[in-house]
Structure 1
Amino acid sequence: MHPIVDRFIQGQLPEPMAMALAGGALPVPAPDLLAALAHAILKETPYADRAIGALEALPESVLAGVVLTPVDPPSGLQIILCHRKEPALLEAALLNPALTAEIVEASIPSMPGSVLEIVLNNQVLWMQRPRILDLLEEHPEGEYVIKRRVNEFRFEVLRLVPEEVKQERLEIIDEVEAGHLDRAWAELPLPKEKTREEEEAEAESEELAAERRLLAQKPLLDEEGNEINLTLTQRIARLRTNQKIILALKGGKEERTILIREANRLIQVNVIRNGRITEGEIAYIAQMRTVNEEVLRIISNTREWMKKYTITKNLVMNPRTPLPIAMTHFKRLLESDMKLLVKDRNVPEILRREAKRLVEGKAQGRG
């Protein structure tokens, strides 16, 4: 290190020279100047403000040349990360071999959002200092994808599971082993934050939301009229979206009956893709007015299900069924059900009109 910088760090440099050095006015090599400025700023010396001004005034090209090789001492990287905003310069500093987890942790609050992903991708650093993940999540300029990946890393890499989650997990395993819960519960992953797709899938119209609230006030019944276990209902309500999606795909009859009432499209779709679902459940779902249209489309496109008259009838009579689907299948209805369709003011007018025309045509043919 340059003798002048060494004396400055040791506190042995006369004040006029120290002021000049902190202001960047002495002819010392750029790496040594960076070390002097870092000492002045991070040690909160009387020259700190002057040193910050000098650092901000240094050309980007000068600092870029310094960070191309390992910076010694690495504290110079911290003041660059905290007081400079050029993305290319910050990226070079974050990729410098001398960078430490302590420096990253201290610098994140000052970094612009554009470079946070570089920090997130350096697993070595945040595995040493998990607090880095918290700071990334709290950063005001952090994008949604950053915060989602932070949560994934917490659970999948660091296994940082909250104590209450651990306890609930043990309770679930105990209940599965005791035969009180379907085996699928034992395979649920740890909870995660909702993805953007999951959030969008939960959007629903005000009309459907009102109908769902009304249904929530009534006892929860399955398609045979049996009341669902309240404890199971409460347990499912505590699950995160990704857990509900997996439970919908693998769970038993009671779980499917509860989950098909969820607003989330992905959960509903996975319920009817469950390999254990019965035709009776499909018939029940086909007449539900709170299911997503995609669920009804999947039912209508499954030939084996549509061979069952009850499923076809429920699908046609459901006001939620897309009109093209209802128009395709309504002619299969029995005459008695066709007459009911004609009188049903909840279904589209064009469907009732076509049903009426068909009924009248058959009546004339008999005459």
Structure 2
Amino acid sequence: MSGFATPQELVRGIRQGMVSRAVRVFAAQGLLPVPREELLRILVFLASDSDQEIAEAARESLSSFTAEHARDTLALPDLDPLEIDLIAKWFRDEGLWQEIIRDPRTADETLRWLARVAPPATQDALVTNQVRLLGCLEIIEDLRANPQVTPDILRRLREFEEEFLEKATVWASATDQEAPPEPVHGPSIGEALEELKAVGIVPPGPEVEPVKAPEPEAGAPKEIQDAFVRIALMNTYQRIMQALKGTREERLILVRDRSSLVVRAVLASPKLSEGEVEQIAGMRAVNEEALRIIASRQRFLRRYGVVRNLVFNPRTPPAIAIQLMSRLSDRDLRLLARDRNVSEPVRRVARERVALRE
């Protein structure tokens, strides 16, 4: 194989950009004298080659392989997480995908990609694999973003979140001698994917977005900026634990998180004060889930400032704002009727209620 003693060495050479075009063309045409399962692991790289002729030839060769051939390759003991990721993306087969989900070598990024694109049976396999789900909680939001996600999967995710949050609340109050269990994280292929791009190989399918942490406002004090930096380096599990046991400043940052589980952890924190709830209720840069949760809990609504902030907050869903409007004082109701920051339906109902009270 032109200087490469084994298929594995050839794959390494391709990944490092060290294989000549002539050899890549020969391999892409499926002409290498190697077992089919070894040829497949070469072709999944060449199918994304920056050389269009090579990529098209490799895709043509791949079209003669079945999901069963991909399973044979998956059984190779030296297959690495990046190769598994490429197999998942080139072979859209639910049975194969479910095997990949159960394989401990599969990267978190692969599971997240599957969560965003997979049909219901594969979604079920992801939710059932709770060890990996706990180790990569980002999968939850990826499943929710899947246009094919089923009501049953959404229900099971909610149940998983509730059970996890109960346990996490206990873990957050544990002493050092009772440290919470560390979740089992799968391998990562982030660096390997970047190395592939550097040699002109771009795998198919949309990339999994990295977790985006909130950003500080311009001119924020240094301690606030430092807190944003700390949080930006955390995964979802770590942000949940910080939401439960961190500082007031950290909670006010984390309540903006796009993960509903992180937001729910903030509002479940035993350290959360009534004043913080009132402040959160009035925040514009907040995850809407936080406003929904606050509006659903009577213990929060006993404080008038919380109710007022929710109703006046343009981020609050209009149906919730209108429902809470009856609790406003006459003065605040009149102010609301003239407030251009809230939606027109909210202002209209406020005007009607002002007229009824007069």
Larger Rg: 1
TM-score by length of 2: 0.49
Higher relative contact order (CA 8 A, sep 6+): 2
TM-score by length of 1: 0.48
